[in-house]
């Protein structure tokens, strides 16, 4: 078991002939992910790497191949449409790697994807990996190893850093979920935590947050009230200076609650382990697995 992606994932790559899309499609195939189709409008009928059929539309691709998950590598101006197209075509999990999607676009994409009954991860995220089964996105496969630690994070390379330490210490992962840091995204901390709580393979969760917003505090409240599995947390940005804030709206809506100190306090109150450094995850996770 695992969450969101596994050996039954039938992956479609939107933007498969582009620079990033083709590079990462190859990496995902090499990792053993079942990549069943690619989509690039105007390039339908071609074959990618001699084995993956390319279609003009997601609808055609899903009909022909039974794809159930899509990963998106299209440029920002087209990303909103690509997410909606995937959801409209019956794909159940839509993962958008693209960075720089305007937030105004996401205000309509998010409700649309939810209304189609699909799950969205991202945008501006590294994607997901269930070690040994499927890699959907850009998380480097060789730093991961199968195991019982669920990983969820707002950041990309910081996730790699933590996973790298875990793997070196022999602490494998059930699934790593990079939710991305954009203000309007699909899957949040709580969605991922709930999935880990329900996943028999996951025994402990490692969570990496950042300063800004109240997502981590909300997650801490969820952990306290609803989770039986232990969670270890980290907040990046403890030394970040307070930004020069324009206007009052940000302060009114979040009070003082964007700071690392406040988030760490919320973690502690929820009974979570708090990693001060990325490497601290190793001991904190190991204690909770024992």
Partner 1 sequence: MNIHEYQAKDVLRRYGVPIPPGEVATTPEQAEAIARRIGKPVMVKAQVHVGGRGKAGGVKYCPTPEAAREKAEAILGMDIKGLTVEKVLVTDAAEIGTEAYVGIIIDRATKKPVFMVSAAGGIDIEEVAATTPEKIKYHPVDAVYGLQPFEAQQLGFFLYQDAKQARAAAKIMQQLYKAFAENGCSLAEINPLVTTPEGEVIALDAKMSIDDNELERRADLEALRDESSEAPSEVEARKANLTFIKLDGNVGCVVNGAGLAMATMDLVKYYGGEPANFLDIGGSSNPEKVVNALRIITADENVKAILFNIFGGITRTDDVANGIVTATKQNPLKVPIVIRLTGTNEEIAVKILEEHGFVALTDMDEAVKKAVELATQSQGAEGGK
Binding site for partner 1 (CB under 8 A): 20, 76-77, 99-104, 107-108, 110-112, 126, 138-140, 143, 153-161, 164, 181, 183-184, 208, 210-211, 213-215, 218, 234, 236-241, 244-253, 255, 276-279
Give dist(CA 89, CA 68) in Å, integer: 10
**Beta-strand relationship, 35-39 and 11-14:** parallel
The CA R_g of the chain, rounded to the nearest whole Å, is: 19
Residue (248 or 290) nearer to partner 1, CB: 248
Q: How far is the CB of 253 from partner 1 (least distance, A)?
A: 6
Give dist(CA 244, CA 252) in Å, integer: 15
User: How would you list the strands of the sheet with 146-153, edge to edge?
Assistant: 134-137, 127-130, 173-178, 146-153, 204-210, 231-236, 273-274
Residue (253 or 289) nearer to partner 1, CB: 253
Task: Please answer whether residues 3 and 196 qualify as being in contact, where contact means their C-beta atoms are separated by less than 8 angstroms.
Answer: yes
Extended beta strands in the chain, E state? 11-14, 35-39, 47-48, 52-55, 69-72, 93-96, 119-121, 127-130, 134-137, 146-153, 173-178, 204-210, 231-236, 273-274
Q: How far is the CB of 132 from partner 1 (least distance, A)?
A: 19
Residue (229 or 236) nearer to partner 1, CB: 236
Q: How far is the CB of 104 from partner 1 (least distance, A)?
A: 5
Residue (129 or 227) nearer to partner 1, CB: 129
Q: Is 248 a catalytic residue?
A: yes
Q: How far is the CB of 277 from partner 1 (least distance, A)?
A: 6
Q: How far is the CB of 245 from partner 1 (least distance, A)?
A: 6
Q: From 203, 167, 169, select the one nearest 288 (Cα to Cα).
A: 203
Residue (44 or 76) nearer to partner 1, CB: 76
Hey, which residues are catalytic here? 248
């Amino acid at each position: 078991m695992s969450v969101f992606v596994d050996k039954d994932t039938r992956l479609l790559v939107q933007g498969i002939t582009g620079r990033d899309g083709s590079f990462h499609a190859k990496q995902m195939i090499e990792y053993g992910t079942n990549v069943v189709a690619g989509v690039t409008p105007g390039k339908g009928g071609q074959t990618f790497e001699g084995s993956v059929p390319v279609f003009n539309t997601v609808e055609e691709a899903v009909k022909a191949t039974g794809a159930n998950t899509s990963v998106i590598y299209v440029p920002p101006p087209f990303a909103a449409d690509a997410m909606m197209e995937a959801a409209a075509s019956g794909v159940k999990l839509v993962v958008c790697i693209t960075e720089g999607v305007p937030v105004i676009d996401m205000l309509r994409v998010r409700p649309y994807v939810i209304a189609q009954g699909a799950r969205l991860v991202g945008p501006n995220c590294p994607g997901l990996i269930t070690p040994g089964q499927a890699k959907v996105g850009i998380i480097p496969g060789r730093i991961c190893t199968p195991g019982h630690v669920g990983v969820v994070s707002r950041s990309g390379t910081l996730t790699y850093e933590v996973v790298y330490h875990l793997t070196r210490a022999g602490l494998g992962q059930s699934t790593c979920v990079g939710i991305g840091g954009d203000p309007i995204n699909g899957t949040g901390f709580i969605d991922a935590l709930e999935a880990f709580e329900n996943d028999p393979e996951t025994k402990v969760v490692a969570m990496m947050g950042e300063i800004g917003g109240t997502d981590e505090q909300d997650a801490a409240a969820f952990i306290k009230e609803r989770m039986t599995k232990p969670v270890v947390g980290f907040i990046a940005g403890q030394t970040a200076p307070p930004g020069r804030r324009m206007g009052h709206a940000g302060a009114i809506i979040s009070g003082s609650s964007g700071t690392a100190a406040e988030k760490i306090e919320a973690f502690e109150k929820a009974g979570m382990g708090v990693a001060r450094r990325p490497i601290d995850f190793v001991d904190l996770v190991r204690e909770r697995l024992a």
